[in-house]
Structure 1
């Protein structure tokens, strides 16, 4: 992981609503409308936060067709573990240096 990826990850989890979304997905995949209802968020705001989480590789979205032909978007967590230490930061900076050479 380079510093850009580390910062994207930290930025993605560094918001109360996104932490709530992670908690809301902790029991498995959820349809976006259901998740919006559970979290009492508007769908546009929820999608904005889900986009940040998806960009950081923490959630994944999948479009499925219902039996009546409607497009249904489901999201689920991607298994992750964050171990933030000085060594994590140093490794990210070393990865940057290696990419530059």
Structure 2
């Protein structure tokens, strides 16, 4: 997501994703650089299972990306990193985004 006006559905998805304190902590931690799940879980003092849930939501919203890599001993490690994004909200940008919202049936309003 860039500074350009986001489509309404994208804006709702991103804001809903970022409305969770755990996910905000994940974003903050990943701004320091890419890391793998176990290290990030220790850093944030949460379980790997809970962290995976939050990382999947952040990835689905397009805010983080992941890459599976093999360690020297052949162990699969999933690394995550932030994707660049910027959200600038104004009443006008929200009004523009509302015009592109789809209803539950998938049609534009």
TM-score normalised by the chain length of structure 2: 0.83
Query: What whole-Å deviation, never above 9, does each CA across 1:34-78 have from its counterpart, x for those lacking one?
Result: 000000010110011111111111111111111222111000001
1:80 to 85, 101, 104: 85
1:36 aligns with 2:37: no
Structure with the bigger percentage of helix: 1
Structure 1 residues without counterparts, runs of 5 or longer: none
Which runs of structure 1 show a deviation greater than 3 angstroms over 4 or more consecutive aligned residues?
none
RMSD: 1.7
Please report how far the alpha carbon of residue 27 of structure 1 lies from its aligned counterpart in structure 2 after TM superposition. Answer: 1.0
1:71 aligns with 2:63: no
Q: Tell me the residue number matched to 1:19.
A: 24
Q: Tell me the residue number matched to 2:3.
A: none
TM-score normalised by the chain length of structure 1: 0.89
Q: Size of the alignment, in residue pairs?
A: 100
